[in-house]
Amino acid sequence: MKKIAIIGGGVAGLTAAIYALRSGAEVTLFEQFGLGGQVATIDKIENFPSHSSVEGWKLASDIAAQARSLGLKTVRKRVLSLQKHGEYFTVVTDGEEYEFPAVVVATGTSHNTLGIEDGYVGHGVSYCATCDGAFFRDKPVAVAGASKAAVSEAIYLADICRKVYVVCARSQLSAEEKMLVELFAHDNVDILYNASVSQIAEQDGNVAAIKVFVDGEPRTLTVNALFVATGAAPVTDFIHIDGLERMRGYLVVDDRCETGIKGLYAAGDVTNGSLKQIVTACADGAKAGAFAAAYSATIK
């Protein structure tokens, strides 16, 4: 009997479920909150094929309904621990233990925050310029961050926004020379070094300005968006399996979305794959679900 567990009910986990269920596997999906993951929180999505514009909750609930219609079993609990004993994996939630021959980890990432943006996510605060930059075309925006990710977000935004402030907590940006040269070539980019964002000012519930300190001096920047690029961390702390390869914390997978541990697959933002988007998370989920189901059939 094909039987797999999926940990994480975002689009990667749900797509894994659709592929595994359609191949005849029994699927148990563990999700700590409602199904849909990050997608369910996105205001508007304009880069998912077949939808020129769709609300995140709608896309998430359509994918969840499709998985449910195929017989998906869900356990609405946080997975506290994943271990491997012999050929079987043990999934532990509070008070329950389950055994599976194959598991797909699709737990995504959790963003580092500035601690001031609560209530503004989707109203001018974003963690993804590729996703949300186009909503602020020809508007002034700010990027908070000092790393390669912040530089990359700023370059992307400089091509579409009128003005881009980079609020860099250090005395220099940390990125490859080539990227820095590209950023500095934009005359609409203003980099504020030794700077931090202290407050968001709103109008009608949307970001209208940010208050910053630059070298200890207060300043107000009139911007319509604040892109927070202070890093995100993959959610893998519950996995206790020796020999599992990680790259900067992300799970390393091959082109079948299998980790180096037999029977353990990973999909979506939690992996070391590039371009962390809905369409790539779904593509990973398809591979992980199909191959995990096939592998589970080989275990007695």
Contacting ligand FAD (CB under 6 A), which of 5, 28, 31, 266?
A: 31
According to CB under 6 A, which residues from 34 to 53 bind ligand FAD? 37-39, 42, 45, 47
Closest listed residue to residue 79, CA positions, set 104, 62, 57, 60: 104
Q: Does 72 sit near ligand FAD (CB under 6 A)?
A: no
Backbone torsion region of residue 280, taken as left when φ is above 0, otherwise alpha when ψ lies between -120 and 50, otherwise beta: alpha
**Rounded-to-integer distance, Cα 249 and Cα 266, Å:** 13
Q: Does 273 sit near ligand FAD (CB under 6 A)?
A: no
**Rounded-to-integer distance, Cα 244 and Cα 251, Å:** 8
Nearest 5 degrees, angle CA 205-CA 210-CA 212? 155
According to CB under 6 A, which residues from 156 to 215 bind ligand FAD? none
Mark the segment that binds ligand FAD (CB under 6 A) among 160-168, 171-179, 181-189, 272-280.
272-280
CA distances from 78 to 61, 67, 99, 244 (A): 20, 20, 16, 21
Nearest approach in angstroms of CB 218 to ligand FAD is 28
Q: Does 269 sit near ligand FAD (CB under 6 A)?
A: yes
Mark the segment that binds ligand FAD (CB under 6 A) among 8-16, 94-102, 148-156, 198-206.
8-16
Contact 163, 135 (CB under 8 A): no
Q: Does 107 sit near ligand FAD (CB under 6 A)?
A: yes
- 131 φ, ψ (degrees, to nearest 5): -75, -45
Nearest approach in angstroms of CB 180 to ligand FAD is 26
Residue 186: strand, helix, or coil: coil
Nearest approach in angstroms of CB 215 to ligand FAD is 31
Q: Does 90 sit near ligand FAD (CB under 6 A)?
A: no
Q: Does 290 sit near ligand FAD (CB under 6 A)?
A: no
Q: Which is nearer to ligand FAD, 30 or 136 (CB)?
A: 30
Q: Using the 8-state DSSP alphabet, how is residue 252 labeled? A: P
Q: Which residues pair with 227 in a beta bridge?
A: 126, 143
Nearest approach in angstroms of CB 94 to ligand FAD is 11
User: Footprint of ligand FAD on this chain (CB under 6 A)?
Assistant: 7-13, 30-33, 37-39, 42, 45, 47, 78-79, 106-108, 126-128, 131-132, 235, 238, 268-269, 276-279, 281
